[in-house]
Amino acid sequence: MLVKLVPGLTPAQVLDLVTTRGGIERATVPALRLVVVDVPAAQAQAIRARYLKDSRVRSVEVDQQRKTAATPSDPLYSMQWNLPKIGWDNVFGSVTPSGTATIAILDTGVDASHPDLAGRVLPGYSAFAGSNPATDPNGHGTEMAGITVATTDNQTGIAGVAYSGVSIIPVQVLDSTGVGQDSDIVNGVIWAADNGANVILMPFSNTGFSQTLQDAVSYAWSKGVVLIAATGNNGSSSATYPAGDADVVGVSATDQNDALWSGSNYGADTFIAAPGVSIPTTEPGGTYISISGTSASSAMVAGVAAFERAADPAASNAVIVGRLAQDADPAGTAQQTGN
């Protein structure tokens, strides 16, 4: 459970709260006055009710799971159709960023040893004890990394959207199956915001709203971070989160014809769309793969946002998000593809 506390409690008072109300304290998020409490599933409702009756508690939420929003499809294609589609070929070779920027990829980790990511991966954070965020037991995080920052013009593999001036910070909050708890995701958002991330990429989704996750997002936004999230791959107009949270750029997926991909979610939480079908990218072990889904689309937008920040270091997160909307080409309806 995610237990949000009232201000001003001492560590001793927090310990007393958990001891008397039930469960085992697993983690804390001081920036949000949050305690993560493990409880037996069969007793969850009863224990939640006890916490809610305590004047020291502001709110209690279920620690929900969120899943990755991309599915590997075909082997790597010889051409990255997605880059010319967003005008990348008109920028490469003519724009060199004057500054630098970082993208925190909240995912399964990143294989920092991949030849096409060499020198682009900074030290990161893992929510899992003993795990190295510069490794990736699943592959999804490495796929996001390749789309955003794969080394360009190096006679190897693919080109990244942010071809210069941008590095990534692997923030491992999803496990080897691509699933993560809100408590770990919240910690990851806070850690990234506190450790210099200019852009936070969240390529996962869930239909359940979490006020705690919204609080973490708002905290990151207040520190100048641009937050990007995938809308999901269910072909549904139902809102998902964190794409539907305030201050988050929700991204749907389009195909080679600028049409909404059949599997893409859409609706009120969609701020913008980007190519998301058969996108070549990096895979752990030095290989490559082609993936489809709104995760790939969100990674493309994250790459653009970070490149914007590197090219204009003084630009605020609000300015960068405004530019994303202003510079987007018309495609589909507003409900399908946002701006």
Residue of 252, 290, 295, 297 with catalytic role: 295
The overall longest dimension of the chain from CA atoms, in Å, is 64
The DSSP line for 238-274 is S--BTTTSTTEEEEEEE-TTSPBPTT---STT--EEE
* 107 catalytic residue (yes or no): yes
Among the listed residues 107, 116, 247, 269, the single catalytic one is 107
CA distances from 133 to 21, 121, 184, 214, 227 (A): 34, 10, 13, 24, 20
User: 34 and 64 in contact (C-beta within 8 Å)?
Assistant: no
Query: Please, how many CA atoms are within 13 Å of residue 44, restricted to the half-sphere of its CB?
Result: 12
Strands 226-230 and 199-202: parallel
Catalytic residue among 116, 140, 184, 247: 140
Which two structure tokens, joined as six digits, stand for 275?
């190519």
**Residue-wise burial string across 211-225, b where 16 or more C-beta atoms lie within 10 A, e elsewhere:** ebbbbbbbbbbeeeb
Contacts of residue 102, defined as CB under 8 A and 6 or more positions apart, other chains included, come to: 122, 166, 167, 168, 169, 196, 197, 198, 199, 306
At 48 the three-state DSSP class reads: helix
State both tokens at 74: 């075909």
Tell how strand 287-293 and strand 70-72 pair up. antiparallel
Catalytic residues: 107, 140, 295
